[in-house]
């Protein structure tokens, strides 16, 4: 059966490929960026069948597709499909931004990590330099954030994960970038950190990582990669332990999109107004 992407070939097309993808905020974010910068484009969310990722990407390119964002579960498939990769995509083993050249060659980048760093440092004024950082989780998002985190020159990064071997693998891969160590959650007792990043998928299930409350000290910044229409369970827990600088991942989402927009159009849109717009639209005005 032939695939119909229903693209308007008279206009430059962009899309996010995922499965599921209906929930994606990317069409809204990119439409706001386009309006702000006066760039005409069509951006839609396309649900791609699991076994047809490569086929869909090539078809999209052939129908005036200019660029793609890639979300769960295809970031590693995208990495394998690309003809060229940026250095940060190569290191992370994942791709969330694709663009095509005249010959329909596929080029890949990852902007998730830069998105997190921009949200932490620019939007929220958190200085990472010389700070101790705890990263909880060792999945796809952590692969993407480690290199940009190291670029900020923290004193130390500790990766805690349920499956410790995955954390160890990451320390082996990224140890040339900075001072990184792996440990179990139990080994965190009696240790505290300046910055704690929850990169597990636990908030989605309304659960907390098994982390001792002593990891939080005066002035610890707590950041949950997840966002929703209200504070995540991790954010509430962090506040109960006395943390005052507590953030969700909505800013990261918008910042990674802005980096993709810049890759495609060579223009960096304003993100603050878009983050505000999104918070209003999902009914989340609390920080």
Catalytic-role residue among 25, 75, 131, 143: 75
By CB atoms closer than 10 A (0-12, 13-18, 19+), residue 8 is exposed
Q: Which is nearer to ligand NDP, 46 or 170 (CB)?
A: 170
Among 16, 32, 135, 252, binds ligand NDP (CB under 6 A): 252
CB of 208 to ligand NDP, least distance (A): 9
Q: Which is nearer to ligand NDP, 109 or 112 (CB)?
A: 112
Q: Does 162 bind ligand NDP (CB under 6 A)?
A: yes
What residues from 108 to 127 belong to the interface with ligand NDP (CB under 6 A)? 112, 115
Among 32, 199, 211, 216, binds ligand NDP (CB under 6 A): 199
Among 9, 104, 163, 175, binds ligand NDP (CB under 6 A): 163
Query: CB neighbours of 47 closer than 8 A, spacing ≥ 6?
Result: 18, 19, 20, 21, 22
- The residue ranges of DSSP E strands in the chain, in sequence order, are 13-18, 42-47, 65-70, 84-85, 97-100, 106-109, 132-136, 156-160, 180-183, 193-198, 216-224, 245-247
CB of 268 to ligand NDP, least distance (A): 17
User: Which span (9-17, 124-132, 137-145, 147-155) binds ligand NDP, by CB under 6 A?
Assistant: 137-145
CB of 202 to ligand NDP, least distance (A): 5
Measure the CA–CA gap between 197 and 150, rounded to whole angstroms: 14
CB atoms within 10 A of CB 266: 7
CB of 85 to ligand NDP, least distance (A): 18
CB of 166 to ligand NDP, least distance (A): 5
Both structure tokens of 33? 């960026």
Q: Does 139 bind ligand NDP (CB under 6 A)?
A: yes
Name which of 257, 255, 210, 237 is nearest 27 in CA terms. 257
280 as an active site residue: the answer is no
Between CA 8 and CA 14, with CA 13 as vertex, the angle to 5 degrees is 145
Which residues sit opposite 223 in a β-bridge? 197, 247
Query: What three-state secondary structure class fits 237?
Result: helix
What residues from 67 to 96 belong to the interface with ligand NDP (CB under 6 A)? none
Binding site for ligand NDP (CB under 6 A): 112, 115, 137-142, 161-163, 166, 199-204, 209, 225-226, 249, 252-253, 256
Kindly list the catalytic residues: 75
């Amino acid at each position: 059966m032939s695939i119909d992407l229903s693209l308007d070939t008279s206009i430059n097309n962009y899309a996010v490929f995922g499965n599921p993808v209906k929930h994606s905020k990317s069409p809204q974010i990119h439409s706001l960026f386009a309006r702000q910068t006066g760039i005409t484009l069509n951006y839609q969310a396309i649900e791609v069948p699991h076994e047809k990722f490569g086929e869909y990407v090539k078809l999209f390119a052939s129908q005036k597709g200019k660029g793609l964002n890639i979300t769960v579960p295809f970031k590693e498939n995208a990495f394998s499909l690309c003809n060229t990769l940026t250095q940060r995509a190569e290191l992370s083993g994942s791709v969330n931004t694709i663009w095509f050249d005249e010959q329909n060659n596929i080029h890949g980048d990852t902007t998730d990590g830069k998105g997190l760093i921009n949200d932490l440092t620019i939007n929220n004024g958190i200085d990472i330099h010389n700070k101790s950082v705890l990263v909880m989780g060792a999945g796809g998002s952590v692969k993407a954030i480690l290199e940009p985190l190291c670029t900020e020159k923290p004193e130390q990064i500790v990766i805690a994960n349920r499956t410790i071997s995955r954390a160890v693998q990451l320390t082996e891969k990224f140890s040339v970038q900075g001072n990184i160590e792996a440990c179990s959650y139990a080994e965190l007792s009696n240790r505290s950190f300046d910055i704690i990043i929850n990169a597990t998928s636990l908030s989605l299930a309304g659960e907390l990582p098994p982390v001792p409350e002593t990891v939080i000290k005066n002035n610890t910044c707590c950041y949950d990669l997840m966002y929703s229409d209200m504070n995540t369970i991790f954010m509430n827990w962090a506040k109960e332990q006395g943390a005052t600088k507590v953030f969700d991942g909505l800013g990261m989402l918008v910042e990674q999109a802005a980096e993709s927009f810049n890759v495609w159009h060579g223009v960096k849109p304003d993100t603050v107004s878009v983050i505000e717009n999104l918070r209003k639209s999902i009914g989340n005005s609390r920080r």
